[in-house]
Amino acid sequence: MKFYKFLYCLFFILLTKYSYSMDTIAQQAIMIDFDSSHIILEKNSDQLMKPASMAKLMTIYITFEKIKNKSISMNDKFIVSERAWKKRGSRTFLEPGQNVSVSDLLRGVIVQSGNDAAIVLAEGISGTEDIFSDLMNSVAKELNMKNTVFKNSTGWPDPDQNTTARDLSILTSSLIKNFPELYKMFAEKSFTFNGIKQDNRNPILYNNLVYGSDGLKTGHTQESGYGLVASALRGNLRFVLVLNGMTSMRQRKQESARLLNSAFREFKKVNFYKANQKVIDAKVFLGENNSVPLIVKEDINLLLNSVEKREMNIKAKWNEPISAPIHKDIELGKLIIEISDEKVLSFPMFSGEEVKKQGVLKRIGSTVDYIIWGAVK
């Protein structure tokens, strides 16, 4: 068996090798590439933690879902209950008995982190917050959030309420993917209700701290410390970051900005091939054409850091010569992308066109040539 390979580097190879790594002072953390779910940073990502107000992301998710399937609309109004009005913590300053639109309630939750607004949404959708929390857990299960239990719509401390950084990243990615238009609300920097203006509690939205940042949600309790779920988009690259267990608002702000900015500096999305693009021509034996193009059937885009970009290489493997007849779209080889010794990716290569078999006389001549010269001309 002969393997014909082409090997090239996309970037200059450094003589001195070095490694790239990220770490964080957060107790629990995960950062992923939104498109590929490739993990950039991971620390205690499956360790149980208290979600605090980051639990409101599920309340928002369910509300977005109800709007998308037209069960409710942004203009629908829910009544503020006495229970919601009395809730302590961050508030939208709703008044008991007031009819408030879903649009205003969502902004109360997203921008102001209003516990009262979250409860009104829960009661308006499910009747009671307890029933709504059952819905939250059902949706969490559907999203494969394996280690999450919700007990209320606000993230208010409860001994049985837990989540993980990984689960929150799953929820966040689903929010962005499933509701791209509604998601834009997370970038709003202020909201005024009942004459009271409050700024968005997400620190990275301000002063170009993280260029391209557009969400999502902070959280804090004495037990869990300071946490943040964040996302930013630059060009074709979006990162989702979850941090928790920090000691102050300042630490949360600085650490989230540092990690996201570092990721954007270090990682780039490299387009190797577009769908149906030719990788190489392979020689054909006994065919009307001497060669057949080998193509990939999908876009091949990979997120690489600076080390990987310098050291990676590409190989194409197939058995040559390929005997005719050859039908179109038949798998004939593999495209191998070697990113590191531990990270090797393989993509199938297919025939880009049909190649018919030669007539009898031409086949005799080609066979004789092959016997004499030992190769396909």
Which DSSP string do the residues of 317-331 spell out, in sequence order?
A: EEBSSEESPB-TT-E
Single-letter amino acid, residue 10: L
Contact 20, 140 (CB under 8 A): no
Q: Report d(CA 192, CA 208) in Å as an integer.
A: 23
Q: Report d(CA 305, CA 9) in Å as an integer.
A: 15
**Helical H segments across 179-276, by residue range:** 249-266
Catalytic residue among 43, 45, 53, 253: 53
Catalytic residue among 50, 56, 87, 217: 56
Does 113 qualify as catalytic in the annotation? yes
Kindly state the DSSP code that residue 108 receives in the 8-state scheme: H
First-to-last alpha carbon distance for the chain, in angstroms, is: 18
Does 53 qualify as catalytic in the annotation? yes
Which DSSP string do the residues of 38-75 spell out, in sequence order?
A: -EEEEESTTS-B--GGGGHHHHHHHHHHHHHTTSS-TT
Catalytic residue among 113, 133, 224, 231: 113
Residues acting as catalytic residues: 53, 56, 113
